[in-house]
Amino acid sequence: MTVNNTIAHQRLILTGDRERFKDLLMRRLIECGWRDQVRMLCREAVKENEGGNVNFDTLVSRVTPRARALVPDTVKKELLQKIKTHLLTPKD
Amino acid sequence: MTKIVSELSMNDLNIKFFEIMQNENNAEEAASFIFDSVCDDVTLGFVFEFHHGLKTGLTDLIEGEKEEDDSFKIVNSPECDVFGLSVLKKTQDTNCVCPNCDRPVSATRFAPHLEKCMGMGRNSSRIASRRIASNSREPTSYAGLLSDDEDDADWAGGSLHTERRKRRIKNNNSRKPAKVHKNNSSRTNNGTTNCDSNDGGATYETMSANEKKNLLLQICGVVSEHTKKLCTRSTRCPQHTEEQRRALRNSVLEPSTPESQTMGLTADDAGSPPDSSPSSSCSSSSRKRDRHRAPPKLKGKRERNISPNSRD
């Protein structure tokens, strides 16, 4: 199963469609205000860390799980649908 | 060869892939996997961006400096106001003690006080030197009393008092011959009350009964023992006691007792003051003396007596 996933992933990267999806997702997340929420999360993480000197790894490990949970369902559904249809449509 | 193989394999792979993707579950699973990886990328990108801003100080520049909350906090302690300043009043140690009179004086008023007290200033020194001069000229028995009263006048301050002092000095000078005359002739001359009553009798004597009454209705009228002038302040002036006023009215309005009652004095108190009897006897004896010089002096004295009234 994971082999299938990696194959599909590799195919997207090869065709350059992955970048398109990534741009789309980024645009959607900015539109819905997710980016500002993540910025707030980062600030909180910095404040929690005394001294203000934050390692990037700790920042990622603290922020990423919460940021993933904050992604709106509509955006996620839209992206999944588009990727799926893209996978199913054969290329000439 | 290899190229052909690869082309074949690509083709094969494509076909195989679509076969697999025809399965709904596989497609969904692949989609979610791809979404996760893309989403991770995006998140990581944002975190990178933030971290970069943080390290280079860009975030601070964009968001601006944070305001200090401390300066806007209301201080909530008992001995401070809301600004954190002490509300305790300034203590006694700001006061200075005058080296001349030992009175505690506030530091801000110390210079003006010294000017008055020690005669250091321009006006005060002039007055003080004149005072010293006049004191040395007549070292009389009431020198001690004089200094006490003078201090009071200094403390009250004001132009009126300086004027009064000048008048007093003038008075002293002009009175000298009379004083000599009095010392030579008098038998019972032994102190201040005597000359007071003498003078008071003389000044009041130049007036008619009506004039005296009108005058005493308006002013205090007590004869000062230093200036030998009538007190021209209101009938309730704080410098003289009710006793003094009553005694003077009794002595001056002696011939007509009902008049003294119209002055607002009670009848039962009329005889009590100790000054009344000697002064009255004295004035009667001195009247003869004053008659000698009364006519020529009358005009000047009248003027001097009336002018304070008109000013008031």
CB nearest A64 (choices: B32, B34, B43): B43
Closest to B98 in 3D by CA, of B73, B69, B120 = B120
Reported as a pLDDT band with limits 50, 70 and 90, residue B233 is confident
Dihedral sign computed on CA atoms, order A35, A39, A44, A46:
positive
Contact residues, chain B to chain A, C-beta under 8 Å: 13-14, 17-18, 20-22, 26-35, 37-48, 50-51, 54
| C-alpha B248: how far from chain center | 35
**Paired tokens of B18:** 């679509």
Name A31's Cβ contacts closer than 8 Å, sequence gap at least 6: none
pLDDT-derived band at B89 (thresholds 50, 70, 90) equals low
Provide the domain limits for residue B177. 95-311
Select from A38, A62, A73, A89 the residue whose CB has the most chain B CBs within 10 Å, as the one to mutate to test that interface. A38
Say if A70 is an interface residue toward chain B (CB within 8 Å): no
| Within a domain: B147 | yes
Is residue B62, in this structure, part of any structural domain at all? Answer: no
Nearest-CB residue to A60 (from B14, B35, B47): B47
Q: Does A24 touch chain B (CB under 8 A)?
A: no
Instruction: Please write the tens of the pLDDT for every residue from B7-40.
Output: 567 777 777 777 777 777 888 888 888 899 999 9
Residue B289: phi and psi, rounded to 5, are -65, -45
- Domains of chain A (ranges; CATH) run 33-84 (1.10.246.140)
Is pLDDT above 90 for A74? yes
Q: What is the domain count for chain B?
A: 1
Q: What is the pLDDT of residue B42?
A: 92
The answer to the question of residue B53 being in a domain is no
pLDDT bin (cut points 50, 70, 90) of residue A77 is: very high
Residues B243-268: tens digit of each pLDDT: 888 887 888 777 654 444 444 444 44
| Reported pTM | 0.39
Give domain status of residue B271, yes or no: yes
Q: What percent of chain B has pLDDT over 70?
A: 46
For B292-308, what is the mean pLDDT?
Answer: 47
Please check whether residue B36 lies inside any domain of the structure.
Answer: no
What's the full length of chain A, in residues?
A: 92
8 Å CB contact of A54 and B51: yes
Asked if residue B291 is part of any domain, the answer here is yes
The answer to whether residue B128 is domain-embedded is: yes
Cβ of A67: how many Cβ atoms within 10 Å?
Answer: 24
